[in-house]
Amino acid sequence: AQTIHQWPVAEIKAVGSPLSLGCTIKGKSSPNLYWYWQATGGTLQQLFYSITVGQVESVVQLNLSASRPKDDQFILSTEKLLLSHSGFYLCAWSLHSSYEQYFGPGTRLTVL
C-alpha cells in the first residue's frame, strides 16, 4: 500500500526566517508529485509539480521553491518567510498527471 508522509505536522516561524517542508511517498515508484497551498478559508492552489527526479515546474509564484532530490521525496522551501506564507501546505501524488491525486495529511504553517 502507498503511504504519503509530510513533515513537520505544524510549524510556527518568524517573518524572514527560512523554511523547509518535506514529503515522502512510499510504495510507488516514479509518481507525479505536487505541492499545494491553502490559506485559512481559501482555495486550494497548486504551487509546483514534478513528473521525475530533478524536474519541477512552478505553477504559482509565491516566493517559494521546490525540489525533487529523490524519486520518493519532494521538498518545499524558502530563504525568507513572509506573513502571507501562513496556511496549510499539502503534498499529493498521482500515477499519471490526469489520474486521481492522493493527498498527504498536510503541514500547518503559522508565520508571525
Residue 24 touches another protein, criterion: CB under 8 A: no
Nearest distance, CB of residue 16 and another protein, angstroms: 27
SS (H, E, C) 35-71: EEEECCCCCEEEEEEEEECCEEEECCCCCCEEEEEEC
Backbone angles phi, psi at 26, to 5 degrees: -115, 145
Residue 105 touches another protein, criterion: CB under 8 A: yes
Residue 97 touches another protein, criterion: CB under 8 A: yes
Q: Tell me the CB-side half-sphere exposure of residue 4, using CA atoms within 13 A.
A: 19
Residue from 29, 40, 55, 61 in contact with another protein (CB under 8 A): 55
Residue 74 touches another protein, criterion: CB under 8 A: no
The residue count for binding another protein (CB under 8 A) is 26
The radius of gyration computed from the CA coordinates of the chain, to the nearest angstrom, equals 13
Residue 95 touches another protein, criterion: CB under 8 A: no
Which residues contact another protein by CB under 8 A?
32, 34, 42-46, 49, 51, 55, 57, 59, 88, 90, 92, 96-98, 100-106, 108
